[in-house]
């Protein structure tokens, strides 16, 4: 009888432990941390493979797109939207002296890019990112002109520096380092839709999943992240 009781107690302890482990596993799933992957300058010849990767890992991103690139890749633009990613505009020229020329320079380029988006996808967007970010080149009057057209400007607080490194491993390492040092929310990471983006994202998404991160698309309701430098008057 004593032997039977010992087995009953042992089985009960095992079941209790299993229950604790199961609840802990479920807790990990519920505690996924959110960050925002953003990609500038596309869509490009690399975007389709990038979308495949994001889809395979159930992650969403935000694409700040240039007008001419949207015209070259209209089906990719449609796919970005149909798969639940956020579409933002990034202007036309991506040339500092052209984009930031005059009070209305930035808003004219954003409106032109938005017209292209409307023609391709049947919708506009209020999400916008200026070339090189809103600081230091964007003046207060230029920003006011964008605001008058209801544009919501988004910068970033983590720069992958993929545009500088042009190397997947170095970009990945730098991004992880900056992410670990970033305490502010939301965490918005700048990537570019350029050669090497797929290799970088394979490394980074694997790291994200190992560290219980997911990515969501930016929405107009979120408080935008802005660069801190003083604007040009």
HSE-up (13 A, CA, CB side) for residue 113: 34
- The question of whether 40 is a catalytic residue gets the answer yes
| Cβ atoms of residues 73 and 44 within 8 Å | yes
4: exposed, middle or buried (Cβ count in 10 Å: 0-12, 13-18, 19+) = exposed
ω before 43 within 30° of 0 (cis)? yes
- The question of whether 58 is a catalytic residue gets the answer no
Q: Considering 85, 162, 192, 193, which one is annotated as catalytic?
A: 192
CA distance 121 to 117: 6
What are the tokens at 183? 């305490």
Q: Considering 40, 155, 162, 193, which one is annotated as catalytic?
A: 40
Helix, strand, coil content of the chain in percent (nearest 5): 50, 15, 35
Q: Which residues contact 58 (CB under 8 A, 6 or more apart)?
A: 214
Q: Which residues contact 12 (CB under 8 A, 6 or more apart)?
A: none
Residues involved in catalysis:
40, 192
């Amino acid at each position: 009888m004593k032997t039977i009781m010992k087995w009953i107690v042992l089985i009960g302890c095992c079941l209790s432990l299993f229950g604790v482990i199961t609840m802990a596993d479920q807790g990990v799933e519920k505690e996924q941390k959110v960050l925002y992957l953003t990609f500038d300058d596309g869509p490009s010849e690399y975007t389709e493979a990038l979308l495949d990767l994001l889809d395979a890992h159930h992650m969403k991103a935000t694409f700040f797109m240039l007008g001419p690139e949207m015209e070259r890749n209209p089906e990719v633009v449609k796919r970005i939207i149909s798969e639940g990613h956020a579409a933002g505009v990034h202007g036309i020229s991506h040339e500092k002296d052209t984009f930031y020329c005059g009070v209305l320079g930035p808003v004219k380029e954003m409106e032109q890019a938005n017209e292209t988006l409307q023609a391709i996808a049947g919708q506009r967007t209020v999400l916008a990112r200026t070339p090189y970010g809103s600081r230091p080149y964007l003046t207060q009057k230029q920003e006011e002109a964008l605001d008058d057209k209801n544009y919501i400007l988004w910068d970033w607080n983590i720069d992958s520096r993929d545009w500088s490194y042009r190397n997947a491993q170095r970009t990945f390492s730098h991004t992880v380092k900056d992410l670990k040092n970033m305490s502010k929310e939301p965490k918005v990471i700048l990537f570019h839709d350029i050669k090497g983006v797929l290799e970088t994202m394979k490394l980074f998404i694997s790291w994200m999943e190992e560290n219980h991160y997911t990515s969501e698309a930016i929405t107009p309701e979120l408080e935008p992240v802005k660069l801190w430098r003083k604007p040009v008057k």
